[in-house]
Amino acid sequence: MTEAANDQGDVVVPNFGVRTTPLGSLLPINFSDIPFSPQRVFIVQDVPPDTTRGTHAHRHCEQYLLLLSGEIHVRMLDGRTETLTILDKPGAGVLLPAMIWGSQTYVHSRSRLLVFASQEYDRSDYIDDFEDFLREKGAYPQS
């Protein structure tokens, strides 16, 4: 695994190295390289090009987004600052902490994302409305 910083330089983004031989490619993942103990894993695929998914935050769940193929643009907003991380090499990934608004734009139809979640699915952990997210973050200016 290698590490890089995001656009702001303040978040460490592990990248898992793909090993390619004439027999194919291997993407090894050690759970110890993920900054939490995964409780759930899922794959997002077959998304039409230029489609944005996510567009929500989690109150408690952290997610580690790992690109399997294609290209995905990950936007994260903490209530004041937005960052963009472009995942364009298999094995590239980014940590999406709790209480960060996230969205992912799938650039190609072949884009595939593997997501590790720190918690099992819990619908009450989701914040789907951006205004509600800003209120919970306390991001609105005080009047």
Rounded-to-integer distance, Cα 40 and Cα 37, Å: 9
Are 119 and 63 in contact, with CB atoms under 8 Å apart?
no
What pLDDT sits at residue 1? Answer: 39
What pLDDT sits at residue 7? Answer: 41
Across the chain, the runs of DSSP E, i.e. the strands, are: 2-5, 12-15, 19-21, 24-26, 40-44, 51-58, 63-69, 72-77, 82-87, 93-96, 101-106, 112-117, 126-127
What pLDDT sits at residue 3? Answer: 41
What pLDDT sits at residue 125? Answer: 98
Which among 121, 80, 114 is positioned nearest to 99, based on CA atoms? 80
Residue 49: C-alpha distances to residues 18, 106, 136 (Å): 24, 6, 32
Structural tokens at position 46: 């077959």
pLDDT, averaged per 10 consecutive residues of the chain (143 residues), comes to: 40 66 87 90 97 97 95 95 93 93 96 97 97 89 53
What pLDDT sits at residue 44? Answer: 97
